[in-house]
Structure 1
Amino acid sequence: MQTGTVHGGVHVHQQHRFVRPVPRQLPPDTSRFTGREDELSRLDARAGTPTLITGTAGVGKTALAVRWAHRCRDRFPDGQLYVDMRGYSPRGPVDAGQALEGFLHALDVDPELVPVDTGDKAALYRSVTDGRRLLVLVDNVSDADQARPLLAASDTVTVLVTSRNRLPGLVSRDGVGRLGLDVLPPDEAVSLLRATAGVDRVDADPAAAARLADQCARLPLALRVAAERCADTPFTTLADLTADLAAEQDRLDLLSSDTDPTAAVRAVLSWSYRALPADAAAAFRAFGLHTTSEASLDAVAVLLDVPPASARRVVDCLVSAHLVEPTARDRYRLHDLLRAYAVERARAEVSPDDCAAAIRRVLAWYLHTADAADRVLLPLYQRTPLPAESVPLEFADRVAAMRWCETERVNLVSAVRSAADSGHHDIARWFPPALWSFFDLRKHWADWMAVFGIGLTSARVIGDRDAEAYILGSLGVALHDTGQYDRAIDHYQEALAISEEIGNDRLLGGTLASLSHVYRRLSRFDEALDCLHRSLTIRQSTRDRRGEAITLNRLGAVYRDLGRLDESLDHLHRSLDLRRGIGDRHGEGFAHHSLAATYSTLGRIDTAMEHYRHSVEAHREVGNLFGEAQGLDCLAKLLRLTGDEPGARAAWEQSLAIYDSFGSAEADQVRARLAG
């Protein structure tokens, strides 16, 4: 419920907008964590300073970091951030810019204000985290450049980095402390077996337990998998198990390198995999066909071509065997070594035709579900129906649709790339329109350009000229918004040429309106007006009412810039009427703001203030925080001009609260106005 008071005609809401919860992004704590007390104590002593945890694959770097983080989470009431940088993934790493975008969104920074440049993102990240008591866990880093921008500047923020590499540059240049993690000492390795395989079993044959620990190279990952096998075979002795493992190692010839402790992991994985029921083994192979190492239960069900309830049963079997780990409700991840083994098993045991069919199924499912989310996020946006190929998830509302897109963002980008790489260009071509609303609202610039760039290539491969024109125009929007005006114009001009060639008036009208926006930004007003008049004629003839409203709004803005204020008002009122008629509250917010600016230029202050109030209400209703803050700031200026100091202060305080919530540079300007 919203409550508040009225100052100067503006309703001051005490609670008026969605605020993201404090981020609690840590993965679940590792069950039956054993040992490492010395390392945990050393992390205790280094709280407030960045620390790099290094060691070989499977040695337990992430488990140690997560255990310490959960043990100390009360020290960080402002939240815990987590990102898997995928430094050793066959699908490629996450770059620092992508990780920073995720962190800034989790910290409630408005997407509109997230910069494009990684250095600028890092600067904003340092500003937003300054003084906050936060824990940041940066997992699976392969090089210093992945981690360096994620280091905070405040000693209230503790950053943990895990990597298989020693990253000397991070230590020497950035002052990051290093904590080297070796395999478990013999007694701790046996203790881990005792905690997982059972006290009676291990104590009954300590020599066999020690031998099993050595066969597993005392790596926690291998020990847990082996211990689960012990627990599942109550009538088999530890001596029997060590003999089985020795035979498996000999059969696979995995011990050719005595200096490679991870060789034992592969042997244990093979050993455990062959003990799985057939349907669980198929599920493990399905994880090897997924686009990344993390998948939802729904995606696994699609890969297996079974209902989610059936997939849950077999995935639970994999969780019990420690072959996959849950990261959230109905989401699972494979360790890098496990994923590599799953890929190997899929290639060796699944026919090429079945592999191709499963991959096609999951790519089509991601596409159709992204399209379903897109239709909820911006329901008035014109779309071409997808060819029927998959049954997507359904979303109750915009919040659910946005949550799915954010959760699956890495998988969606990977799915587009996988579709193109595997020759499914018809799928890759459809991803850009299916993800338009998500990228337009969240401004993940790097992913936006990557997805649309891949889609453009695929559209050209299959000769889809409509898709080519659409994607070129959409890339133009991203380039304009990131200040790359010359490149934006080039993309728009190419899209225009194709649209005219193929006779696609809908694309032609939209591209002309978008091109005008760049010309206006460059003060090339005659060219902007020419584009807009052509756009208006086309959109009216095609009965594109939403497009017509956008074009009218942009005409009104250009006329205001030229001092043709009566024409500005005429076009802006027509735009507002159209938007009201089709129920476009998002567009109403922009129309009211533009009308307010024109009335203010005319000196009709009362009317301008009324339109700013309507703009604030519309933006608040649809959750456009940046638009709300801008409207409040402009309204406050007019309230002060009329002598209503309390009303101006109330509006500025609301605007400041929003700007501060996402670390906007405008916050300092509003703060200065309040101080004045």
Structure 2
Amino acid sequence: MVPMTVEELTAVLAWAARRPAEWRAVTAGLRAALPAPENAATDPLAPAGTAPDDPVFLRELAALATARAREAPALAEFLAALRHRMPGPAEEAPDARHRTNVIQGSSAVTGHVIQAGTIHGGIHLQPVAGPRPVPRQLLGTPPHFTDRTADLAALDALRAGHLPAGPLLIAVTGPAGVGKTTLVSRWLRGLSEHYPDGQLYADLGGHAPGGPVRPGEVLGQFIRAFGVAQVPAETAEQAALWRTLTAGLRIAVMLDNAVSAAQVRTLLPGAADSLVVAAGRSRLTGLGVDGAAFHQLGTLDASAAVELFGRRVGGGRVAREPVAARELVALCAGLPLAVCVAAARMAARPRQTVAALAGAMTQETGRLEALHLGGEHAVRSALEESYRCLPPATARAYRLLALPPLTVLTGPVAAAACAVPPPEAERLLDELAEAHLLEDLDPDDPTGAGRFRFHDLVRLHAAQCAEREETAAVRERAARRVVEWYLATATAARALLSPAHRVLRRDYEEPVTPLAFADADAALRWLDTGRGPLMAAVRTAAGHAWHALTWQLVDSLQPLFLRLRPYDLWIEAHRTGLDAARRSGQPEGVSRMLTTGGSGLYNAGQLDESITWFDEALTDARGAADRRAEAQALHGLGQAHRLAGRLPQAESLFAEALRLREAIGHDRGAALSRLCLGDVALATGRPLQARSLLARARADLLAVPDPYDAARALAYLGRAHAHEGIGDHPTAERLLGEALEEFRGTGSLHWQARVLEMLGQTAEDRGDAAAARDRYDASLSRYASLSPSDARRLKERIRNLASPAGEP
């Protein structure tokens, strides 16, 4: 956790003071974190007669907060994450000068404005910062919502009695299928005007086949919903940023399928005026220490259940058989899920009588007694009758779709699981949703790209049907087809994002049709948004002992790891992949996992373990007389020693790797070794040698082509021109500016941060502390969400800067 300096905090406060909503949010967070004032006269946030944007007041407030943060962990945490509140400074052209421009008259100006004399060269405009996104994630509620008047009134009473000393937290609990999700969604949607800054939803997966969702996945989802692209890697920093982003906001959050108080506690926002509702089967009594209120949701009474049934099948059918209708809803035990499943079954058969359906369910109830869990046999009975009447292809899809460990089902995933063309898969999903066996998460999506999910009880029933009616081989093939589809699609994404990288074997048991991406940006977006399902696929492959498939899937995710740097997933995936590669008996897989996993370890700062991995890769490569793998291991060892500050050892390893790569004609590998030798030459005061090595590396990498690594060479080349022995700062800043644009094109936030740091160093070299500070601040805004160690280094650089003229 990197704390803010007085200067940083003053800048954030000055920015917030010009925006009333932001000022309220920031000061609300400070007021909650600072020790309570003894009286109004001692309140540091309410100085008498002082304007909120008074510079002296802001600096004094910043100094007070940073001083007290040393003894107040909560305040230190708040300040460390507060930097994300203010958009990062615009990166102007490296040779820009600060000027004041005035537009007079009654002009209204929006968007980008350029006021200039003669302009030489191109103009690069940063996007205009728009308003903060307002997420609207709550699930829709069905038109046949029935009764629950007393429950809605009870929730209203809990809200009305809340004293805003912290977020209002309500736990809504009850048995599976009782309608918790529908009730809470209905209630929260009716309160949208009271929570205008956003309504968020997350399924915590308490009863999902892969286990509960990790807190970091939910926090990342919430943080990105508020427009923050750079999410910290560590869960503690994610939680701190989440509390900072929401301080002073009025938001409503629904946490569905919660299983424990600890799971909910990590996700609580930082706003006293916010509302959080956790829904789950267990009573969640541990939330009592967090001040939670509790509401137990019961089943529907008989008349409400009959009304719900009639709304789904038509009131006339119920009116003709009132006794049978009451018998049927009694079999459903007052559970809305059971009633809706039974009603969907009957609505699909207009000539079936209510009595016939009740009779069928009575027979099934007796047969399913051995299956029931916690009195939920009513739902199972309704499901069994609906399932029995499905067309064969739809029933098969119902069984097979329960097998992949995914919370959200889409057309391509269903096509893979069922081994049918995508249009057929989409039809099957629609039919299952029509039968109330799947929930449509996007019923109003105009694109028609549907997303569906099982209720956990329905999934359990579908999986039991698969266990009962499909062989073990069929069940395994269905799950494997989904994992292979993820492998094929991730491999297609990798081919677009890293076309120069050597592709290793892929072992598919059946033909696979991956997604087609329009361009590299679309491929990277898919990898980014699909982190959860992709890691679930890795874990599933490992759990089934599909060893080759496991390491190959990890290998296909390299662009995600390199470009976006999710270090926790990078390391977890490679530890899993390395074990699988060893078990598969495929040496090329072991070598790839050791080297790309070693890279993840040294990038995450775990240098000793990284060296162990590369040493093992080197031993294996020499034993197998694989000179390409040997060079790769030597290069990785050089990187680890370079980061450890052992420059002579690193240079020797890079030089040995270069000799091997030149000998076997590995042009791209040789260029990468020259790049690293240029970096070491630069670090040891040999700028002319560095320029020669880096210029050659840049040209060779462009020829491959490998634009990502060519941009790295360009960045180091820019710094070589700024070196004291050369001092060509205009050329240095031009080259670094070009490298920054190239890294924006690749989507690499890490290297954007590195280049901005280099620009700051170059400005500092020529004595421009103000420009250096701007570049370092821009770099820090990226590093803060990627690498705490790099962020700490930038903080130290900023502290050591000479104060700009006129600044105390």
1:96 is matched by which residue type in structure 2?
A: P
Are positions 1:333 and 2:456 aligned together? Answer: no
**SS of 1:178 mapped into structure 2:** strand
How far off is 1:198 after superposition?
1.8
1:223 — aligned with what? 339
How far off is 1:465 after superposition?
1.4
Kept in 2: contact 1:171–1:177 (CA 8 A): yes
Matches of 1:578 and 1:16 in 2, distance apart?
37
Matches of 1:459 and 1:20 in 2, distance apart?
45
2:673 to 540, 545, 551: 551
Matches of 2:394 and 2:569 in 1, distance apart?
34
Q: Deviations over 1:542-581 (max 9, x none)?
A: 4333333332222222222222333222222222222333
Q: Deviations over 1:642-668 (max 9, x none)?
A: 687997798689778878999996999
Kept in 1: contact 2:248–2:270 (CA 8 A): no
> Which has the higher mean CA deviation after the structures are superposed, 630-639 or 325-334?
630-639
1:146 — aligned with what? 263
Change (3 A) 1:78 1:652: farther
Matches of 1:135 and 1:670 in 2, distance apart?
38
How far off is 1:54 after superposition?
1.7
Kept in 1: contact 2:489–2:514 (CA 8 A): yes
CA RMSD between the two structures? 3.6
2:395 — aligned with what? 281
Matches of 2:767 and 2:541 in 1, distance apart?
61
Matches of 2:598 and 2:122 in 1, distance apart?
38
Matches of 2:780 and 2:641 in 1, distance apart?
32
How far off is 1:404 after superposition?
3.1
2:282 — aligned with what? 165
From the two aligned structures, give the one with the greater helix fraction. Answer: 1
> Which has the higher mean CA deviation after the structures are superposed, 505-514 or 481-490?
505-514
Q: Which residues in structure 2 correspond to 1:339-378 (within 5 Å)?
A: 339-378=459-498
2:264 is matched by which residue type in structure 1?
A: A
Change (3 A) 1:15 1:273: same
Are positions 1:466 and 2:588 aligned together? Answer: yes
1:189 — aligned with what? 305
1:228 is matched by which residue type in structure 2?
A: A
Which has the higher Rg, Structure 1 or Structure 2?
2
Matches of 1:436 and 1:312 in 2, distance apart?
31
**SS of 1:50 mapped into structure 2:** strand
Kept in 2: contact 1:25–1:80 (CA 8 A): yes
How far off is 1:319 after superposition?
0.6
Are positions 1:50 and 2:162 aligned together? Answer: no
Kept in 2: contact 1:296–1:330 (CA 8 A): yes
Higher relative contact order (CA 8 A, sep 6+): 1
Q: Deviations over 1:296-348 (max 9, x none)?
A: 22222222222122222222221111111122433221111111111111111
Q: Report the TM-score, using the length of structure 1 for normalisation.
A: 0.88
Matches of 1:75 and 1:552 in 2, distance apart?
60
Matches of 2:140 and 2:624 in 1, distance apart?
53
Kept in 2: contact 1:192–1:223 (CA 8 A): yes
Matches of 1:589 and 1:249 in 2, distance apart?
67
1:619 — aligned with what? 743
2:541 is matched by which residue type in structure 1?
A: A
Are positions 1:605 and 2:729 aligned together? Answer: yes
1:534 to 629, 652, 656: 656
Change (3 A) 1:609 1:446: closer
2:625 — aligned with what? 503
2:613 — aligned with what? 491
2:715 — aligned with what? 593
Is there any run of 5+ residues in structure 1 with no aligned partner, and where? none
How far off is 1:497 after superposition?
1.4
1:89 is matched by which residue type in structure 2?
A: A
Q: Report the TM-score, using the length of structure 2 for normalisation.
A: 0.75
2:383 to 243, 256, 269: 269
Matches of 2:222 and 2:437 in 1, distance apart?
29
Matches of 1:649 and 1:486 in 2, distance apart?
33
How far off is 1:496 after superposition?
1.6
Change (3 A) 1:178 1:337: same
1:130 — aligned with what? 247
Q: Deviations over 1:567-606 (max 9, x none)?
A: 2222222222223333433334322332333333314322
How far off is 1:624 after superposition?
3.0
Kept in 2: contact 1:656–1:670 (CA 8 A): no
Kept in 1: contact 2:773–2:798 (CA 8 A): no
1:32 to 144, 150, 162: 144
Kept in 2: contact 1:249–1:255 (CA 8 A): no
**SS of 2:711 mapped into structure 1:** helix
2:559 — aligned with what? 437
Kept in 1: contact 2:681–2:690 (CA 8 A): yes
> Which has the higher mean CA deviation after the structures are superposed, 644-653 or 73-82?
644-653
Kept in 2: contact 1:499–1:508 (CA 8 A): yes
**SS of 1:150 mapped into structure 2:** coil
How far off is 1:481 after superposition?
2.3
Change (3 A) 1:426 1:629: closer
1:162 is matched by which residue type in structure 2?
A: A
1:150 is matched by which residue type in structure 2?
A: L
How far off is 1:98 after superposition?
3.2
Matches of 1:20 and 1:371 in 2, distance apart?
35
> Which has the higher mean CA deviation after the structures are superposed, 237-246 or 645-654?
645-654
**SS of 1:89 mapped into structure 2:** coil
> Which has the higher mean CA deviation after the structures are superposed, 351-360 or 554-563?
351-360
Q: Deviations over 1:504-532 (max 9, x none)?
A: 33333233222222212221122211221
Kept in 1: contact 2:394–2:432 (CA 8 A): yes
1:115 — aligned with what? 233
Matches of 1:505 and 1:132 in 2, distance apart?
59
Q: Identity of aligned pairs, percent?
A: 33
Q: Deviations over 1:87-110 (max 9, x none)?
A: 222322222133334444444545
2:415 — aligned with what? 301
Q: Which residues in structure 2 correspond to 1:595-674 (within 5 Å)?
A: 595-602=717-724, 603-628=727-752, 630-632=754-756, 634-635=758-759, 638=762
How far off is 1:251 after superposition?
2.9
Q: Deviations over 1:338-379 (max 9, x none)?
A: 111111111111123333333333332222122112212332
Matches of 2:226 and 2:551 in 1, distance apart?
33
**SS of 2:441 mapped into structure 1:** strand
Matches of 1:563 and 1:640 in 2, distance apart?
17
Matches of 2:784 and 2:546 in 1, distance apart?
45
Kept in 2: contact 1:216–1:268 (CA 8 A): yes
**SS of 2:437 mapped into structure 1:** coil
**SS of 1:580 mapped into structure 2:** helix
Are positions 1:316 and 2:430 aligned together? Answer: yes
2:184 to 65, 81, 93: 65
Matches of 2:745 and 2:134 in 1, distance apart?
23
Kept in 2: contact 1:143–1:167 (CA 8 A): yes
Matches of 1:380 and 1:74 in 2, distance apart?
52
1:32 is matched by which residue type in structure 2?
A: H
Change (3 A) 1:313 1:436: same
1:479 to 601, 614, 622: 601
Kept in 2: contact 1:373–1:402 (CA 8 A): yes
2:211 — aligned with what? 92
How far off is 1:225 after superposition?
0.4
1:201 — aligned with what? 317
Q: Which residues in structure 2 correspond to 1:519-530 (within 5 Å)?
A: 519-530=641-652
1:411 — aligned with what? 533
Kept in 1: contact 2:563–2:747 (CA 8 A): no
Kept in 1: contact 2:565–2:750 (CA 8 A): no
Change (3 A) 1:417 1:619: closer
Matches of 1:193 and 1:631 in 2, distance apart?
63
